[in-house]
Structure 1
Amino acid sequence: MGNRLSKIYTRTGDDGTTGLGDGSRVGKDSARVSAYGTVDEANSCIGLVLASELPDDVRALLVAVQHQLFDLGGELCIPGHAAIFEADIERLEAQLDAFNEPLPPLKDFILPGGGEAAARCHIARTVVRRAERETVNLARHDAVRPEAVRYLNRLSDLLFVLARVLARASGHGEVLWNHERRKA
């Protein structure tokens, strides 16, 4: 691939529009831009998780996820484009099952925390959930392949499980919600 971004600013967006991958222009506040922009934000949050001390298997998985999120952003930026497939969702599910299997069953809600890496993973999870909501909103107005929504749904579940794994690996442990705290 050649030098595609030789000039970072183009001034074409100064009127409040941006170019989609198919060459069309839409408002920067459009549902499509919100969806792929939030996917980009989620990818950045995963980058922040990757800046933490992580087990090698978690690191490798999150790097692969970053590439898939970039693909998903492209799918959302180019109407009609397909980049996320059933096999991608199945791989997430397999990883989710593998990381979840050794964890104890949940009996209480978990608060975001459990050490730096786990807390960052919780932030990434919530941003992925927002990306999912933005993508569902886009699907109400424009064609969106169901794989995009399902991928984001599964990814947020995976990030929740990884936050649990990271909280335990760090020695901080999970932060449980104390629902009894108001009874006095």
Structure 2
Amino acid sequence: MVVLSKIYTRTGDKGETALGDGSRVPKQSPRVAAYGTVDETNATVGLARLHATGELDAALARIQNDLFDLGADLCRPNPSADDQAEYTPLRIVASQTDRLEAEIDEMNTRLTPLRSFILPGGSALAAHLHLCRTTCRRAERLAVELAGLEETNADAVKYLNRLSDWFFVAGRIANDDGKDDVLWVPGATR
């Protein structure tokens, strides 16, 4: 259980922060950038949920929990040393990505194939889901960059890749199953 009785600690006042294993790194480190952007993605999901109801809202709630799992995963370096840790670190697992894929497939059964790119927008929920998608893509790019520099859980990167696809398809669902998608018209303002 987490107990937060004091929010500020002053330990980061000189530009460093603690990772999940207790080591300290500069706040601009690739690892902090990656999990910080996952946190930002989670905040955009919170905004989207203001407009969501029913099963879509429940799915977004599951995703928010997954994103906390993902932040915990990314803030803990050296996945190969997990078996030597004092406790088992929380890691994203393949079944979380599999669930996203199953949900994407289910949502896709309601949609007609796209014949054009779509612009972010339509309903308020769809616009927020597109913001989730683009923020998630940035988190993915940062996680891929981190994976090129340090050992990282490969399932974490896969999850982010699939999640951005989930947001895209959910955005179409939020636009009356794609009927209210805003289509890109190439060169329309020339």
Q: Same fold (TM over 0.5)?
A: yes
1:162 and 1:55 map into 2 onto residues whose CA distance is 12
Give the unaligned 5+ runs of structure 2. 80-88
Give the corresponding residue for 1:27: 26
Give the TM-score normalised by structure 1: 0.93
After superposition, the Cα gap between the structure-2 partners of 1:5 and 1:142, relative to the gap in structure 1 and judged at 3 Å, is same
1:163 to 171, 177, 182: 171
Within the alignment, does 1:93 sit opposite 2:111 as a pair? no
Q: Secondary structure at the match of 2:110?
A: coil
Please state if 1:142 is matched with 2:150.
Answer: yes
SS of 2:48 mapped into structure 1: helix
Deviations 1:60-110 (A, max 9, x none): 111001101100000001112452111111111000000011101000000
* 3-state SS of 2:97 partner: helix
Confirm or deny that 1:130 pairs with 2:128.
no
Q: Which position in structure 2 is the counterpart of 1:7?
A: 6
Aligned to 2:180: 173
Distance in 2 (CA, whole Å) between partners of 1:137 and 1:152 is: 13
Q: Which runs of 4+ in 1 moved over 2 A?
A: none
How many residues of Structure 1 are paired with residues of Structure 2 in the alignment?
Answer: 180
Equivalent in the alignment of 1:42: 41
Query: What percentage of aligned pairs have identical amino acids?
Result: 50
* Counterpart-to-counterpart distance in 1, 2:50 and 2:154: 31
2:69 aligned with 1:71, yes or no?
A: yes
Residue 17 of structure 2 aligns to a residue in which SS?
Answer: strand
Structure 1 unaligned regions, length at least 5: none
Question: 5 Å matches for 1:95-114?
Answer: 95-114=103-122
77-86 or 31-40: which moved more? Answer: 77-86
Q: How far apart are 1:5 and its partner, in Å? A: 1.4
CA distance in structure 1 between the partners assigned to 2:185 and 2:164 by the alignment: 23
Amino acid corresponding to residue 135 of structure 2 in structure 1: V
For residues 159-184 of structure 1, what are the alpha-carbon distances to aligned partners after superposition, in whole Å with 9 as ceiling and x for unaligned? 00000000116x9811000115257x
TM-score calculated relative to the size of structure 2: 0.90
Deviations 1:122-158 (A, max 9, x none): 0000000000000001001101111111100000000
After TM superposition, give the deviation of residue 55 of structure 1 in Å.
Answer: 3.7
Contact 2:35 2:75 survives alignment (8 Å): yes
Q: Distance in 1 between matches of 2:108 and 2:58?
A: 17
Letter in 2 for 1:17: E
Question: 2:91 touches 2:153 (CA, 8 Å); kept in 1?
Answer: no
